[in-house]
Chain A
Amino acid sequence: MPARPLGVPLALVLATALVLTLFPIFWIVMTAIKPPTDWNAVPAIWVPAEPTLVNFKTLFDAEAIREYGVGGVSQSATAAVGGSILASVVATALSVLIGLLAAIGLSRYGNAGRATPLVILSARMFPPAAIAVPFVIIFSAINLIDTYVGLIAIYVAITLPFSTWMLKSFVDDVPREIEEAEMIDGRSRLMAHLTVTIPLIRGGLFSTTLFIFILNWSEFLFALVLSYSSINTIPVQLAKYVTAMAGTLYGVQAALAVVAMVPLVVFGFLIQKHLARGMTFGAIKR
């Protein structure tokens, strides 16, 4: 479309959109830097007069959090952050690796048939609450409940459709002829994939990795039902605070929310160009 400049009324519309987008983020960040006396003040304080990082200290200090400790949140968030990092990193690596193999297979040996996209998409339709029930039963039987191995296995399975289809869309962008030229030099087909295609899609591989990390880091329901005492993730810890304290731990919870959010916002900006591709299983490329 021919690009026209923006008039004043439309600029105001955009400004409103900007304010509405940023306000909740502003609020959570402000709450995170409020001293305890400001947490639940009436009327609510928008910008603290004396901003402080004490909430972040409390969050990772087992002693400090115990002073607020009511009903099961005497735990610091250190274990939750560690658990989130462990589960997300390992699950992301596995999901991208398996997805990359499948992506090359589907893209270059297109005999997977027309039904495959349907099958893979339908895997995303299962409500997690529905698969969570049998998982808990099976995992209890084979002692995988409350373990990172179990959690990671589920994360790999639920992010695999995303990694496979996102990577496949990148592999599709690489012309077959380049691989075939390499094969004339006497390399096998597999070597051509490894030495030609994968280096060519490394940008896409990077974006896919961050995208899958975002999905794993955000996951809540499976972590909630599979964790009892020995595993923990940030979303579960956040929910525990809200339940046990009836929300009175405002500042500390907000601090944990900020800790959870910052890496994802950074990663999101880095892969902005490919977000649509990831969210739509590669159906939309820009």
Chain B
Amino acid sequence: MTAAVESQEPTAVPTQRPAARRARRPRRLGLGRILTLPGQMVSVIVLVVPLSVAFYMSFTDWSPTRGSLLDAAFVGLENYWELLVYDTRFIEAVIRTLALTVVCLSLEFTLGLGLAVLFLRKFRGKSLLFSVLLTPMMVLPVVVGYTFWMLFQSNGPINQIIAFLFGADATPEWFREAPFAMTAVIVTEVWHWTPLFFLILLSGLNAVPDNLTRAAVILGAKPRQVFWRVIFPVLKPVIMVALVIRSMEVIKLFDEVFMLTRGGPGTATETISLYIYKLAFADFQLAYGAAAAFLVLVGTLFLVSLLLTPVSEQLIKSRR
């Protein structure tokens, strides 16, 4: 076919006029570069430049009340030293955010997988129920935070149900005590994002070839063996993608907590994002906040790069 010859890849027919091929390649590269250029420019201007400024700033003692950033005194690693050694609030926020990530992701994954497995069965109204169960992930984070703030009020519906089931003495003040406030944050986050796990895991399960599981069953495999030996290996890359993408989001968690608790009571539910926000925009310690932001950035990069390799392989594979 002539069309195939036109698209000559270097590996295809090695004997065919190498000179002509070499002449065409730079032009193809040129158009590719031009097409990706606007995107690259936006990324550089809007991400790289601010990050470079922030990086410089994190080595100074600048604050907006002291005039220009260029005149600010250079303090070297002082901000970083302070954060890592003395700032217990920062360390606590980091640990809290990591713990929150582990708890939320475990719950979301378990619930999402359970629901997805149920959806392998046949029942009426399945496609409607599927759509309805996805609704939470389409709601704005701010609205989710506000809604659960209302639900968890001391005279709100959740306490009404608790009072009905266990008596009026059992109702907690959700936002006054640390464990309860943390529970409220977790419940909110799990309600919001379990549907994403459900969606991704269901599409993964549906991709498991029917005849593979059927063959395993005929060969006498027990359901548990079918799951771990046949389904799980196919599902694994999908699970990795879901976990990586969600963990990136939970580490950044801000909107819902801002609406729900503002990090309170005290700093009991303060996430890293919330702490950096307060440093920069409530206390105006911009240089110090920038240093905190960079520590978070380096930490996240490290964590995610551990998990990212399988995902990027998946991305490259899906290119076909």
Residues of B within 8 A of A131 (CB): 47, 50-51, 54, 293
A81 at the interface (CB under 8 A from B): no
Contact between A43 and B155 (Cβ–Cβ < 8 Å)?
yes
Question: Given A130-B54, A133-B54, A134-B57, does the pair A180, B150 have CB atoms closer than 8 Å?
Answer: no
Question: Given A2-B214, A114-B316, A272-B134, does the pair A132, B38 have CB atoms closer than 8 Å?
Answer: no
Q: Identify the interface centre among B143, B149, B213, B294: most chain A CB within 10 Å of its CB.
A: B143
CA distance A46 to B200 in the complex (A): 34
A60 at the interface (CB under 8 A from B): no
Residues of B within 8 A of A22 (CB): 132, 135
Contact of A279 among B135, B200, B274, B277 (CB under 8 A): B200
Contact count band on A = 35 or more
- B contacts with A, residue count (CB < 8 A): 117
Q: How many A-B residue pairs have CB under 8 A?
A: 333
Residues of A within 8 A of B57 (CB): 133-134, 137
A230 at the interface (CB under 8 A from B): no
Q: Which residue of B lies closest to A247 (CB)?
A: B149
Within 8 A of B (CB), among A17-66: 17-18, 20-25, 27-28, 31, 40, 42-44, 46
Report whether over half of chain B's contact residues are helix, strand or loop; otherwise say mixed: helix
Report B's interface with A, CB cutoff 8 A.
1-4, 6-7, 28-29, 31-36, 38-40, 42-43, 45-47, 49-51, 53-54, 57, 64, 69, 114-115, 118, 120-123, 129, 131-144, 146-151, 153, 155-157, 160, 191, 195-196, 199-200, 203-208, 210, 213-214, 217, 231, 238, 241-242, 245, 248, 251-252, 254-255, 258-259, 272-274, 276-277, 280-281, 286, 289-290, 293-294, 296-297, 300-301, 304-305, 308, 311-312, 314-316, 318-320
15 of the cross-chain contacts (CB-CB < 8 Å) are A28-B150, A44-B155, A98-B39, A101-B36, A105-B36, A111-B29, A135-B50, A136-B280, A137-B69, A138-B50, A153-B46, A217-B140, A239-B258, A284-B204, A284-B241
